[in-house]
Chain A
Amino acid sequence: MADGLPKRNPVPSPMNGPQTEPVGRRHFLLQGGAGLGGLALSYLLQRESLSAAESAASPLAPNPPHLAAKAKSCIFLFMGGGPGHMDTFDPKPDLTRHHGTVASGGPDQPEGSKLLYIGSPFRFSKRGKSGIEVSELFPHLGEWVDEMSVVRSLYTDSDNHTAGTLLMNLGRPMPGSPSLGSWMVYGLGTENQDLPAFVVLPDYRFIHGPQNWSNGYLPAIYQGTLLNLVGPPIVDLKPPEGVTRSRQAANLRLITKWNRDHLRSNPVKDDLQARIRNYELAFRMQTSVPEALDLEKEPESIRELYGMNNAVTEPMGRKCLMARRMVERGVRFIQVFNSSWDSHFDLTKEHSRRGLETDRPIAGLLQDLKQRGLLDETLVVWGGEFGRTPESGRGLVKETMGREHNKEAMAMWFAGGGVKPGTVVGATDEMGRRAVESRYHIHDLHATILHLMGLDDMRLTYYHGGRFKRLTDLGGHLIKEMIA
């Protein structure tokens, strides 16, 4: 039993089964008390946050963590496609020396294959006080290495995109399980009931879809909310064009009045009251969500910081700035997608472009979080679904030189709340083919992320399909070297 958590999902048995009637697992917002009957309608339409008492029954109400944690929010910067670790955060001088020579067969290499080693086309240099080496792809981001903990020894189970991406997000290589963000808001709830707890900022080039932010078998309220970057941010957040707010309010008044009449004649009130209250909340969200995403309110200097004034950096900059605004407002988990790191050929050009797109916005995000005092309570995670091979699968013509997928090695970094800054963890072999020192699996990565957010992966369980399930299956090992 998850003893650190409220008993949201006990084993259903006659003794401790769901203590409710069929209609109501307690996944609603507000129960009991005076209910809505005693509330004046003027209150209904006011924009006030829920008091602690009112939100106590919400499945998204803030929950005490298992462990003391510094980080309250998490921003996961997902680099879809798989950045080459030897081209970003894991310098491999030996590989450069062997550039163009025949690779001496990794474990997965077919016998007799004549693949050639490719040294990274990107120069590495020591950055910051910690002197961590970062490639020239990230001139701005490199300034922030003293805030980072870089792990160079991760490995995963699949070297194809769909499975690898699912594994990184769900802990399993197939769809159907809850995502990291869903687990997090299931465990911790959220600080701001007027905004979604778990938001997703998409990249249209990312094709693996909503299964990666799915609630899986957790209740639907824990699913990630996809925010559209242009137009209305959430589907049906607002009524169709032509329906004014005053007309909506009049309609809401009628619904509430009639629902209240109905409530009086009904012996069991909880769910009915919750539903009445939801209309009020939804009405409030219609303004709170666009307000949170309104970047026009940001001063020019800030927009510049995120690279919003440059066409190349604008898309990522916009998402990073949105992420910061949501962190400020207490959103628990924000997943920012970047994509197209899958450089099978044209490594130099393709990785350069991805670097260009993301370097300034991410550096801007770290700087902005830092200057606002938010970095200490925000965990920033950067990484893709796997690393890349030291060899080219497509020959060595300069223009077509590229790298294949590699599940045996990848690099990621953390920054912010609870992270041990300026550290490097683990190592790959001399060519970067395989993590060899302090190897960590994706389950370990997930356990560490949860830990930094105050959750014990072993205790974060949900009873489903005959047993307690968890993100890390049988549990992960903490990457202790990354934790302050």
Chain B
Amino acid sequence: MPARLLPWLVLQLVVGSLPSSALAESIPAFEGIRPILEKHCLACHDSRSHQSGLVLESPQAALQGGALNGPAVIPGKSRESPLILYLTGRKQPRMPLSGNPLSDEEIASIAGWIDRLPPLSEAENQVRGWPWLELKAPEIPRVRHDQWVKNPIDAFILAKLESRKLAPASPASKRLLLRRLYFDLIGLPPTPEQMRRFTSDPNPDAYRQEIDRLLRDPRYGERWGRHWLDIVRYADTDGGYDGPLPHIWRYRDYVVRAFNQDRPFDRFVREQIAGDSYPQYGEEGKLGLGFLHGTVFSEDGVRRDALNDIVNTTASAFLGLTLACARCHDHKYDPIPIRDYYRMEAFFAPVKLSTMEVPFSQYELPGRNSKAWEDGKAHWEGLLKRQKEFREKTTARFKERLEKARFLQAYQDLKELPPLSNSPVNGDLKRAALEGVLLNEQEQALYHLMRKQTTAYRNPHSPDYYKPMAHSASASVGLNYAALGRDAGGLPDPPTTFVLEGGDPKKRGEAVQPGFLSALTGHSEPAGLEEVGHDGVSRPIRNPAKVLAEWIASPENLLTARVMVNRIWQHHFGRGLVRTPNDFGRNGSGTDYPELIDWLAARFIRSGWSVKSMHRLILQSNTYRQSMHHPEFDRFRKIDPENRYYWRWSMLRLEAEAIRDSVLAVSGRLNLLMGGPGFFPRIDKDLLEGAVTWFEPSPPEARNRRSLYMYQQRSLVLPLVKVFDGTQLDESCAAREVTTVTPQVFVLFNSRFAHEQSRALAARIVAEAGDDPGQQLEQAFQLALQRSPTPSERSDGLEFLGAARPVSGDLKETVSLAAGGGGSIDDDRGIPAARRIKDAEGTLADLCLALFNLNEFIYIE
């Protein structure tokens, strides 16, 4: 069967009810206009070139349309058809792109043909092109400069470049390539030693070996796990009261582990949607269900909000669809009716979110590093105990004062004292604190602080963290919805799922059965909810979500693999081939490279859904290895200012976490302990006081762990992470923003963290390079940037360091403090400021601070 007929088959599938022959017969003769199209259009829009996905070789293909505008012709409506709009110039750019416009007669013939086409039903109108097409590996395009093609990725990229008269850049230097690999795969810079080894290795295979080595590094899972956590809106607190989800860190660690093990992505999908229904996945499946938690909810409709969130996040994360619109009305842009939204929701109707006992596995922190585990546990238990004691003592004192005050009737202010119980109770104290009687301002503040420190749901220092529990889920046959909370009206939903008009729980419409998106399956039949047991007998499936998981994780699913390979591409190149990775629909960006995505997706499935195999492929392509410089830079930039076609490398800025981790790695303070409950960052006192929670910063050693392990409090994000465009914790974040704003200077140039790490780096340099300023400078550059300073930087640096004057004096002091005090560099209270840093021309620590603030430090070139 000729390949180009395939789209039409899909169209028929989607249309479903309409007999295909009837439609085919009623299409007016195409032959009348075919010569016109051949002359003007097919050079770019035949099935071989199919620019922007549009093929005009057949009526079916024209109806199918391209990636950008969907159907090129609207039957019976030539005036509205994109094809005519482009040919007449009412839509820009006027077609044909190069060459003369069509004559009025030619356009009239095409328009006449369109007007004679029988009108299609609304459903047919909604048929789109890619990605609603069957996934099959396309042919690898042929290119002229095939010596540049290292693997098929390059062929797809080069074909586009050549058709646009562009050419790729030469490879970047070995130094820049290694930095790219490190930041891309593990999110940390290489050490000077690693850099020296690589750049001096003459083996042509060294680059590939580095990739393999880094993919085996457990930091890899931390780096790529973080990307996934963005997508699944991971936070350590709930989305309503912002109180702790004490066990959710196990889901975070599960994600890291899954990436490190290169767990097949289809299994990863199943575990997160219905992991408890796969006995073969064991405890991992239960941990994966942490995915379902993390809903943002209002107190008015906890269960409804949870279901909405689960449907939306599932659709965004795995299918690249924005389903949220269809909660209230038919999707305006994609073929998703409101009914489909609730059919999808019905899969989750019996799901009960719960906290259940799940024993720790040998791969988790308690199993791997029991000492770190016990230490953490002891630390927080001790702290909580001390806080409670302090609170009891202090409130007793306050109550005593209240009690006494009752007998001092004359004193003016006391007239306002609330009437007290026989002996003052907590309620009285609360009112006294709120009203500001008898307690001065500090005491009132203290009172509120103590409450935050010890009230269970406000206090994240819960010993619960250390229990073998997990936030998981199960299908509840008994219809116990308690864990999902009440709906408006206070009643649990009945097991039936209704279409809710306008998303309003009070406006129940039709009852629906679980079913897949009709746009993908071509029909609206309910999904089969039976499974065949070992005994060969089929019986109702306990958890309908398993049926959904199977469907999403199937190689037949049109979107799952395409969406995931696009995400992998995104994190290597800074943006996806589809730039809206959570939206492959009409309102998304579409793509210039549907064939490349399809080729990668097919390969992904064939590799057993191996994410690491995708990395290998992409990283070894010449497309990835290009330099950001290009001999034709100025000319090409006019043709393609955004570098959409990958004719060179586009510089990337590190994300907030990678910046912070890199500072720690370079300073030598990074603590690589993996897993376990998050650490509490040191947050400015004033921010903390205004927050809904309160936490004591973890000890310095723990605070120096990777940012991935920082406690993710929704409403209290570390300023460094926030201002460098940290992820939004409340919903799936497909791509981080990249903004350049002034407060970034505060966190990297002024903060205690930046100054402490600068001093730590200075101490490290003195320890490694000695007293000579020249050696110090060399080592500073090697550590921070993995290169020597240029002659000009060298003279600037030496001048800054005070040239001939040895400057290690006060640093030795710092070093000794660090050595003696066990992390005293991180905790410089008690050291007089004047002694800490002398206000001289400049010190090595200041120079280190400068290095952390360089553009070169935070951009991947």
A residues lining the B interface (CB < 8 Å): 11-15, 17-25, 27-29, 59, 157-158, 160, 162-163, 166, 173-176, 202, 204-211, 214, 216-217, 219-221, 223, 226, 228, 231, 234-244, 246-247, 250-251, 254-255, 257-259, 261-263, 266-268, 271-272, 274-276, 278-279, 281-283, 285, 340, 346, 349-350, 353, 399, 465-467
Cβ–Cβ contact B749 & A279, under 8 A: yes
Cβ–Cβ contact B842 & A220, under 8 A: no
Cβ–Cβ contact B742 & A281, under 8 A: yes
List the one stretch of B352-360, B365-373, B703-711, B733-741 in contact with chain A: B733-741
Please tell me which one of the listed residues B573, B741, B790, B853 contacts residue A27 in the complex, with CB atoms under 8 A apart.
B741
Q: B128 CB to closest chain A CB, in angstroms?
A: 14
27 A-B residue pairs with Cβ-Cβ distance under 8 Å, sorted by A, are A14-B68, A14-B589, A19-B642, A22-B574, A23-B574, A23-B651, A23-B859, A27-B738, A158-B298, A162-B298, A163-B298, A173-B300, A174-B296, A209-B691, A221-B739, A226-B686, A226-B687, A247-B839, A247-B846, A259-B854, A266-B861, A274-B740, A275-B744, A278-B740, A282-B742, A282-B749, A350-B435
Q: Whole-angstrom distance between the alpha carbons of A451 and B296 in the complex?
A: 30
Cβ–Cβ contact A217 & B728, under 8 A: yes
B796 within 8 A of A: yes
Closest to B723 in A: A220
Chain A residue numbers with a CB within 8 Å of B722 are: 220, 223
Cβ–Cβ contact A204 & B690, under 8 A: yes
Cβ–Cβ contact B744 & A278, under 8 A: yes
Q: Whole-angstrom distance between the alpha carbons of A333 and B441 in the complex?
A: 28
Q: A21-B650, A173-B298, A255-B853 known; A267 and B633 CB under 8 Å?
A: yes
Closest to B305 in A: A174
List the one stretch of B2-10, B219-227, B464-472, B577-585 in contact with chain A: B577-585
Q: A247-B846, A275-B855 known; A210 and B588 CB under 8 Å?
A: no
Q: Whole-angstrom distance between the alpha carbons of A349 and B67 in the complex?
A: 66
Q: Whole-angstrom distance between the alpha carbons of A278 and B322 in the complex?
A: 36
List the one stretch of B262-270, B750-758, B763-771 in contact with chain A: B750-758
Q: Whole-angstrom distance between the alpha carbons of A200 and B716 in the complex?
A: 15
Given contacts A250-B800, A251-B850, 7 further A-B contacts (CB under 8 A): A14-B590, A157-B300, A163-B300, A235-B684, A237-B746, A262-B854, A262-B855
Please tell me which one of the listed residues B299, B324, B738, B834 contacts residue A158 in the complex, with CB atoms under 8 A apart.
B299
Please tell me which one of the listed residues B239, B416, B796, B850 contacts residue A175 in the complex, with CB atoms under 8 A apart.
B239
> Nearest 7 CB-CB pairs, A to B?
A466-B322, A242-B833, A22-B574, A176-B730, A282-B745, A28-B740, A27-B739
Q: Whole-angstrom distance between the alpha carbons of A217 and B853 in the complex?
A: 27
Cβ–Cβ contact B800 & A255, under 8 A: no
Interface residues in B596-630 by Cβ distance below 8 A to A read 628-630
Chain A residue numbers with a CB within 8 Å of B87 are: none
Cβ–Cβ contact B745 & A465, under 8 A: no
> In this complex, which of B445, B651, B743 has the most chain A Cβ atoms within 10 angstroms of its Cβ?
B743
Chain A residue numbers with a CB within 8 Å of B692 are: 207-209
Cβ–Cβ contact B741 & A17, under 8 A: no
Please tell me which one of the listed residues B325, B690, B728, B847 contacts residue A209 in the complex, with CB atoms under 8 A apart.
B690
Closest to B634 in A: A267
Chain B residue numbers with a CB within 8 Å of A283 are: 745
B52 within 8 A of A: yes
Q: Whole-angstrom distance between the alpha carbons of A206 and B716 in the complex?
A: 15
Interface residues in B641-673 by Cβ distance below 8 A to A read 641-644, 650-653
Cβ–Cβ contact A219 & B800, under 8 A: no
Q: B455 CB to closest chain A CB, in angstroms?
A: 11
Chain B residue numbers with a CB within 8 Å of A238 are: 750
Q: A250-B800, A282-B746 known; A14 and B52 CB under 8 Å?
A: yes
B715 within 8 A of A: yes
B849 within 8 A of A: yes
Chain A residue numbers with a CB within 8 Å of B67 are: 14
Q: A341 CB to closest chain B CB, in angstroms?
A: 11
Cβ–Cβ contact A268 & B628, under 8 A: yes
Q: Whole-angstrom distance between the alpha carbons of A206 and B690 in the complex?
A: 8
Cβ–Cβ contact B653 & A278, under 8 A: no
Q: Whole-angstrom distance between the alpha carbons of A257 and B650 in the complex?
A: 24
Chain A residue numbers with a CB within 8 Å of B745 are: 278-279, 281-283
Q: Whole-angstrom distance between the alpha carbons of A163 and B488 in the complex?
A: 13
Interface residues in B709-731 by Cβ distance below 8 A to A read 714-716, 719, 722-723, 725-726, 728, 730-731
Chain A residue numbers with a CB within 8 Å of B416 are: 349, 353
Q: Whole-angstrom distance between the alpha carbons of A239 and B749 in the complex?
A: 7
Q: Whole-angstrom distance between the alpha carbons of A17 and B588 in the complex?
A: 10
B497 within 8 A of A: no
Q: Whole-angstrom distance between the alpha carbons of A223 and B723 in the complex?
A: 10
B591 within 8 A of A: yes
Closest to B719 in A: A235
Q: A19-B641, A162-B241, A465-B324 known; A246 and B839 CB under 8 Å?
A: yes
Q: A307 CB to closest chain B CB, in angstroms?
A: 15
Chain A residue numbers with a CB within 8 Å of B853 are: 255, 279
Please tell me which one of the listed residues A160, A205, A211 contacts residue B299 in the complex, with CB atoms under 8 A apart.
A160
Q: Whole-angstrom distance between the alpha carbons of A281 and B744 in the complex?
A: 11
Q: A173-B298, A271-B740, A340-B434 known; A251 and B842 CB under 8 Å?
A: yes
Cβ–Cβ contact A243 & B299, under 8 A: no
B837 within 8 A of A: yes
Interface residues in B829-852 by Cβ distance below 8 A to A read 833-834, 836-837, 839, 841-842, 846-847, 849-850
Cβ–Cβ contact A23 & B585, under 8 A: no
Closest to B684 in A: A235
Cβ–Cβ contact A22 & B652, under 8 A: yes
Cβ–Cβ contact A466 & B298, under 8 A: no
Cβ–Cβ contact A17 & B579, under 8 A: yes
Cβ–Cβ contact B833 & A241, under 8 A: yes
Cβ–Cβ contact B684 & A220, under 8 A: no
Q: A19-B641, A28-B741, A261-B793 known; A236 and B855 CB under 8 Å?
A: no
Chain B residue numbers with a CB within 8 Å of A266 are: 628, 651, 861
Chain B residue numbers with a CB within 8 Å of A349 are: 416, 418, 435
Cβ–Cβ contact B855 & A272, under 8 A: yes
